[in-house]
Amino acid sequence: MTHLDPATLEALRRLLGADRVRDDADTLARVSGDVTESPPGAAAVVVMPTTVEEISAIVRIACRARAPIVGRMAGLNVGGLTLPAPGAIVVDFVRMNRILELNTEEMYVVVEPGVTFGQLSAHLAAEGHALIPSYPLSPPTTSVAMNCLLDGLANLSERWGAMGDLINGLEVVIGDGSVIRTGAWAVSDVGFSRSPLPDLTGLFLSWQGTTGLVTKCVMQLFPKPALRRRYFVMCHAVPALVTAMRRLTRRGFCTDIGGLSWPAARMILGVHKPHVEPVAGEPVFFLYLDFTAEDEEELTFRERRAFAILDAVRSEAGGLERPIVLDDLLRIAPGLKKFAEFPTTLDFLLEHEGKGLTWIGTYGPLSHLDEACARGMEIMVEEATPPLVVMRPMKAGHFSVLRFITLFDKQQPSDVERARRVNVRLADHCLDRGYVPYKCPTWLAPKLLERMGEPTVRAMRSLRDSLDPHRIFNPGRWLFPGPESTASSVTRDEEPRTT
């Protein structure tokens, strides 16, 4: 089914008005595809609600029609997670973009799903609040709530963990159209924490929109530091880089620690298609270190202690250059200005001719990071793909991020096939080393479910069915069946071929 029955369309139009119910070809094409190698979906209609009451009504209409329903914002999750099942009602949250509460004492904000990071940052700056969000390396159009719900990472993740950890509470419309709240917010006017109630928030975190439509998100904010300074350290050996990361993150002198492989550096400087091998002598990674403090004395103290750690690693293992302050690099190469801006966005990933972007992004043990990274880079080179890698410690070193990014030309079938092939190999490689994909693409879900084992999968399905008895929410993700479907006929992306 790729079309809704006329009665359902009419019900949606009665509810929202014709201008907020779109089924023209351009709109449907816009929401049915994304930047990834995944084949496009087939939306039937796009609706743009403005209130939670309207969303409840939409869910009830979808239940009656047994129509799939998927929430969407920028569509940049790079997992193909909002590609709509055939005949789906796409809920575009673009008009639910209110910042509903800013609690400066308890340091949180309540946002609707359409609020973007760019909008939130501008709001905090304009109001002069001394608070900041943890900000992802994503375009400013990225939804705050979606990033939290998909457990992404951001610039404060090195200290505070993945974005899901920053959720204090949620308001969610579940499968019967009713509205629930999670976190302390369920009983208190103040959304201060997820603790100490039974944690229902987890039922909507990384479930990829299969258990409900989140309509409000309470997210932690953090004090805005008075001073910020960024350094780069050129690294010639991955083991030395990972050792430095591990020691630095445990001591807590830095606000952010991240590693970008050499293709990223070249792309930032305007080379969109670097050769797959570095030139002789070129650093394989550059490590960036952010320091923040309330005054220069504190900042200098933090820098000195961190640099002493780097000195120790250099003397033990070599492979690290000395830190270079970003301001100096900017005087040499103004093209690096993008990397000096805060928040930083890696917009070169989206602004290239081929328009295709995909990745295997994983969380895993920091202790395996160097080996997992090195072998992953080899796989990319074997597949004629520049080894573009992002890695960082998370939550003070409790785990790490390892992400392999592939750019490709969406118009070239052979290049799309290359992107699929390298992703399959990288996914197997990461899983074998204990790294677990976040924002798990649908094509990869079977491999994770197989490793989970039947009892865990059964529990997931049971939970989903209890929250969404009609199976209307984003069917196909995690191989969950859709309305009027059985598990064997579930909508799923084609497994990438490995030929």
Partner 1 sequence: MQPSSDIAVRPRVVLDDPARTGLLALLIGQMLDARIEATGSEALSGLGGVTMLDAGGQRVWIRVDDEVRVGSGDPPSAPRVEVRAALHDCVALATRGGMAGAFLMGRVRVRGSLFGALALARVLRS
C-alpha closest to that of 328 among 225, 232, 227, 226: 232
Query: Within 10 Å of residue 109's Cβ, how many Cβ atoms?
Result: 25
Token pair 């969380």 is found at: 363
Q: Three-state DSSP class for 401?
A: strand
Size of the site for partner 1 (CB under 8 A): 28
- The one among 53, 165, 298, 321 contacting partner 1 by CB under 8 A: 321
- Among residues 331, 413, 414, 455, the one that binds partner 1 under rule CB under 8 A: 331
Contact 372, 433 (CB under 8 A): yes
Q: For partner 1, what does the binding mask look like between residues 142 and 171, x meaning CB under 8 A?
A: ------------------------------
On whether the CB atoms of residues 200 and 266 are closer than 8 A, the answer is: no
CB of 400 to partner 1, least distance (A): 24
Q: Where are the beta strands (DSSP E) in 163-303?
A: 167-173, 179-181, 213-220, 222-223, 227-235, 256-261, 285-293
Q: Is 271 in the site for partner 1 (CB under 8 A)?
A: yes
Q: Which is nearer to partner 1, 331 or 497 (CB)?
A: 331
> What separation in angstroms does the CA of 264 have from each of 94, 134, 141, 204?
31, 22, 22, 33
* Residue among 28 and 267 whose Cβ is closer to partner 1: 267
> Is residue 315 at the binding interface for partner 1, with CB under 8 A as the rule?
no
Query: Residue 205: left (phi > 0), alpha (psi -120 to 50), or beta?
Result: beta
| Rounded Cα gap, residues 406 and 356, in angstroms | 8
Measured from the CB atom, the residue of 16 and 284 that comes closer to partner 1 is 284
Is 262 a residue that touches partner 1 (CB under 8 A)? yes
Is residue 453 a contact point for partner 1 (CB under 8 A)?
no
Q: Is 275 in the site for partner 1 (CB under 8 A)?
A: yes
Q: Which of residues 224-243 bind partner 1 (CB under 8 A)?
A: 234, 236
One residue of 5, 106, 176, 282 binding partner 1 per CB under 8 A: 282
Query: What are 111's strand-pairing partners?
Result: 99, 217
Q: Least distance to partner 1 from the beta carbon of 391, Å?
A: 18
User: What does the per-residue mask of binding to partner 1 show for 394-423, with x meaning CB under 8 A?
Assistant: ------------------------------
Give yes or no for residue 497 binding partner 1 (CB under 8 A): no
The Cα 138–Cα 185 span in angstroms is 29
Using alpha carbons, select from 311, 310, 345, 339 the residue that is nearest to residue 326: 339
Q: Residue 274, interface with partner 1 (CB under 8 A)?
A: yes
| Gap between the Cα atoms of 139 and 123, Å rounded | 17
| Nearer Cβ to partner 1 (260/472) | 260
| Amino acid (one-letter) located at 63 | C
Would you tell me which residues interact with partner 1 (CB under 8 A)? 234, 236, 262, 265-266, 269-271, 273-275, 278-283, 286, 321-322, 324, 328-329, 331-335
